Amino acid sequence: MVATGLRDELPDIPGVHEQWGSGVLHCPYCHGYEVRDQPIAVVGGSNRPFTIHQASLIRQWSDDVVFFTNGIELSENERLRLDARSVGIVDVPVARIVVQDGRVIGIELTNGTVVPRTVVFVGPTFVPNDALLRSIGCTRLDNGWVATDPTGLTSVDGLWAAGNVSDSPAQLINSAAAGSKAAIAINHYLLELDVTRAVSAV
């Protein structure tokens, strides 16, 4: 079983790496309640659909959400949907995350304006740590992730994958469950090999 997870490729914005996991986040289901009712920024990036959806989603935890497009050109419908959710939109590119005494206090734009914010959500590019699976020749889906059956079995006989290496949105509990399901399938697979060998020896 391969359970090597994924890595987050973060936007190249000053302050993002330094505040990652504290003032800069990506998962509202993990951190939304902790930062509820605060002035929240959502910064657009290379993961376009994720960040646009995120702006609407995070509105469930705060009445004060601003989406910084940061180079993303929103369609008329996308603007309408964000406006309907009372999400503010700023089209001026982001220069940096402003930090004071170790805490986020705002977003500085390229025109020098600072928009006060205490929390920033970004959309990393999720990259599976699947070099081993690729080197063995596992079939990949159209989205680039390794294909598995419901038990985690890859296209390579006897090789399973579990967790974020094959399922990017899986949270810890889902990944643990996938590992358990794969382990049971592996046990059945090995049992069948043992039985087949035993029968051949009779």
Q: What is the pLDDT of residues 29-55, one digit of tens each?
A: 989 999 999 999 999 987 888 899 999
Q: How far is CA 185 from the centre of its chain?
A: 27
Q: Do 80 and 38 have their domain in common?
A: yes
CA 129-72-167 angle, to 5 degrees, is 25
Question: Within this chain, do residues 121 and 139 fall inside the same structural domain, yes or no?
Answer: no
Percent of the chain with pLDDT over 70: 100
Q: Would residue 1 count as lying in a domain? A: no
**Has residue 47 been placed in a domain?**
yes
* pLDDT tens-digit readout, 69-120: 999 999 999 999 999 999 999 999 999 999 999 999 999 999 999 999 999 9
Report pLDDT for 180: 98
Residue 2 lies in a domain: no
Is the residue at 157 inside a domain?
yes
How many domains does the chain contain in total? 2
Shared-domain flag, residues 41 and 117: yes
Residue 54 domain boundaries: 8-125
- Judge if 29 and 117 occupy the same domain: yes
Residue 152 pLDDT greater than 90, yes or no: yes
| Residue 109, φ and ψ in degrees, nearest 5 | -95, 165
Alpha helices in the chain (DSSP H): 16-19, 28-31, 48-58, 76-84, 131-136, 172-201
Residue 169 has pLDDT above 90, yes or no: no
- Contact status, residue 86 vs residue 51, Cβ threshold 8 Å: no
98 and 151 belong to one structural domain:
no
Domain identity same for 77 and 107: yes
113 shares its domain with 31: yes
From 97, 125, 153, the end of a domain falls on: 125
What are the strands of the beta sheet with 119-122, ordered from one edge? Answer: 24-25, 119-122, 40-43, 65-68, 88-90
Residue 3 in any domain: the answer is no
Does a structural domain hold residue 56? yes
Q: Is 121 in the same domain as 149?
A: no
Which of 125, 160, 181 marks a domain boundary?
125
The domain boundary, picked from 63, 91, 125, lies at 125
Task: For residues 71 and 39, state if they share a domain.
Answer: yes
User: Does residue 51 lie within any of the structural domains?
Assistant: yes
Instruction: Indicate the burial class of 166 (C-beta count within 10 angstroms; 0-12, 13-18, 19 or more).
Output: buried
pLDDT of 144: 85
pLDDT bucket at 146, cuts 50 / 70 / 90: very high
Which pLDDT belongs to residue 157?
Answer: 96
Q: Could you tell me if 23 and 43 lie in one domain?
A: yes
Q: Are residues 107 and 138 in the same domain?
A: no
Q: Chain-wide mean pLDDT for the chain?
A: 95
CA distance 152 to 133: 12
pTM score above 0.95: no
Q: Say which CATH number the domain at 92 has.
A: 3.50.50.60
78 in any annotated domain: yes
Confidence band of 65 (pLDDT split at 50, 70, 90): very high
* pLDDT value, residue 104: 97
